[in-house]
Amino acid sequence: MDSAPTLTSDTLWAAAQQTTVHAIACGALQSINTEFTLLEAGGIRFLVRILANIARKEAAAKRRAQQAPQGKPHNPFLPYEPDLFVGHVSDTHLCLLNKFNVVDHHLLLVTRHYESQDTWLKEVDFAALAVGLGAIPGLGFYNGGHIAGASQHHKHLQLVPLPFAAGDPLPIDTLIAQQGHLDPHQPCPLPVPFHAIAIGLPVDWTQPAPAIAPLLWQRYRQLLAYLGLDLEGSQPNVPYNLLVTREWMLAVPRSRDRYWDIPINSLGYAGSLLVRDGVGLSRLKAIGPLRLLTEVGYPARR
């Protein structure tokens, strides 16, 4: 590890802000502008973002694919772009800005050495996430494989500050609040058409990240076992999305990465959807957000 200091929950947010200012000034950060609208379904006010211009991201992805060695997908994290580097968060993970961000201060918690996005999360992954959530009262998430919406194959968790839009809370929180106090020991299915399991997190976020990580890892394994994943396998036998806040953890199994050409990752199950244009918005309205999330997941068990 180089001489850059290791960030803590007390220093990560200031470092992220400072890096953002630098990355904007030098052109490394290329935010994607969106417009947004609200679409209510099942008691959830879904935030729907409509892309204003994705051509720049697609052109960059095409260039990277052309430059990658024959037969090997490009890995933007090895090496990472120095102007997007926020800092080290542990011996195993570093923090980067998401180059093509839709949400301001979208952070990536990336393994320093290559691991596949298709592998299990480990306690050290949750230690990195604990640094981030200790610093930012946001939403951490993991897209467990391509079918779960992962766009990069190098293992990385993600963290976005809340709220998603000015004055608007995390949409799925409305539904979770209706459940009352989530049991911190027993997973609870959410009352939605798709299979989704949540559990409470009795965490003191003022503790050091290594002290928080074991509990987060245990709750993660509880949720995936409840979903029916084989925890003894070398890697997950079902793709999944994982969402984590300071109060709860939520897991959703996935069956496909998109429906009607609308891609879905973890943010979709948080209540934040993304469409390319007005045509995509019309399709989403015709399908309905809850049906869309059910089509790319699994129907709830009755």
Flag whether 233 is in a domain: yes
162 has pLDDT over 90? yes
Q: Which stretch of DSSP H or E encloses residue 197?
A: strand 197-200
Domain that holds residue 173: 12-295
pTM of the entire predicted model: 0.94
Structure tokens at 114: 């290559």
| Mean local confidence (pLDDT), 10-31 | 98
Q: How many domains does the chain have?
A: 1
Please report whether residue 201 resides in a domain.
yes
- Report the CATH number at residue 274: 3.30.428.70
Q: What are phi and psi of 39, to 5 degrees?
A: -135, 115
Task: Please indicate, yes or no, if residue 259 is contained in any of the structural domains.
Answer: yes
pLDDT class for 177, splitting at 50, 70, 90?
confident
CA distance 132 to 158: 9
Inside any domain, residue 59: yes
CA gap 260, 267 in Å, rounded: 18
The answer to whether position 5 is within a domain reads no
For residue 4, is it within any domain?
no
Least confidently predicted of 65-69, 123-127, 149-153, 298-302: 65-69
Instruction: Decide if 1 is inside a domain.
Output: no
Does residue 193 form part of some domain?
yes
Q: In what order do the strands lie in the sheet with 139-144?
A: 85-88, 93-97, 107-111, 156-160, 139-144, 240-244, 248-253, 197-200, 188-189
Q: What is the distance between the alpha carbons of residues 136 and 246, in angstroms, rounded to a whole number?
A: 9
Tens of pLDDT, residue by residue over 217-236, are 999 999 999 999 999 999 99
